[in-house]
Chains A and B, each alone.
Chain A
Amino acid sequence: EAGVAQSPRYKIIEKRQSVAFWCNPISGHATLYWYQQILGQGPKLLIQFQNNGVVDDSQLPKDRFSAERLKGVDSTLKIQPAKLEDSAVYLCASSLVGTGAGTDTQYFGPGTRLTVL
């Protein structure tokens, strides 16, 4: 079974530039998560989709970050414009059901390491 795919693996940009990350979850997984992991910290949830609807984006800086999940399958996360403090690893994860039972295992992609200069 193929895992969660992410691209690119690494990205270096200058501040005020735009960047986009792509994620393809495990086939059949209803829930998709985007996390930001700053060096030395745990993953912080940015946005959570259930199928193609957003269920939690309370920690997404909406003035510069946006995300969409096309047809309930793959997803893109965009930053426009980027700031120095956006330097982090962006992790995508998916889970099978996500109905709110709270028991789902999340399967993570390898992440995209973003450096903002």
Chain B
Amino acid sequence: AQSVTQLDSQVPVFEEAPVELRCNYSSSVSVYLFWYVQYPNQGLQLLLKYLSGSTLVKGINGFEAEFNKSQTSFHLRKPSVHISDTAEYFCAVSEPLKGYQKVTFGTGTKLQVIP
């Protein structure tokens, strides 16, 4: 069975500083990896996803993530955060099964950007 671990429940960071949100996964098969963002009182929206090819994936709002198969990680990074990046970030793993995809979300990391 697949699982996702987000070790940091909260990450405070000053505005314009870099940030890394960590995500580790486990699965017995090849999976696809996603990062979603949830702004207050809103649903989740896709930031980026890794399907295949280059291990460095660029997403919206200046975020990027690097897939590391040997370390089973998919950490999210941004070189300079903005106040508007304050939100909760969820890592997710998708496993293709017979006829459908099974998606498992991590517990989330709250990013608090401090002015």
Contacts and interface: CB of A to CB of B under 8 A. Distances in A.
Interface stretch (A13-21, A61-69, A71-79, A104-112): A104-112
A100 B36 CA distance: 20
Interface in B41-80: 41-46, 49, 51
Contacts of B42: 110
A42 B108 contact: yes
Contacts of A109: 43
**B: contact size bracket:** 20 to 34
Nearest to A41: B107
A103 to B, nearest CB: 5
Contact of B51 (A42, A103, A107): A103
A42 B106 contact: yes
Given A41-B107, A43-B90, A102 B41 contact: no
B97 A100 contact: yes
Contacts of B45: 107-108
Interface in B75-115: 90, 94-108
A110 to B, nearest CB: 5
Interface in A74-117: 91, 93, 98-111
A72 to B, nearest CB: 15
Nearest to B104: A45
A101 B101 CA distance: 6
Interface of A: 4, 31, 33, 35, 40-45, 48, 50, 55-56, 91, 93, 98-111
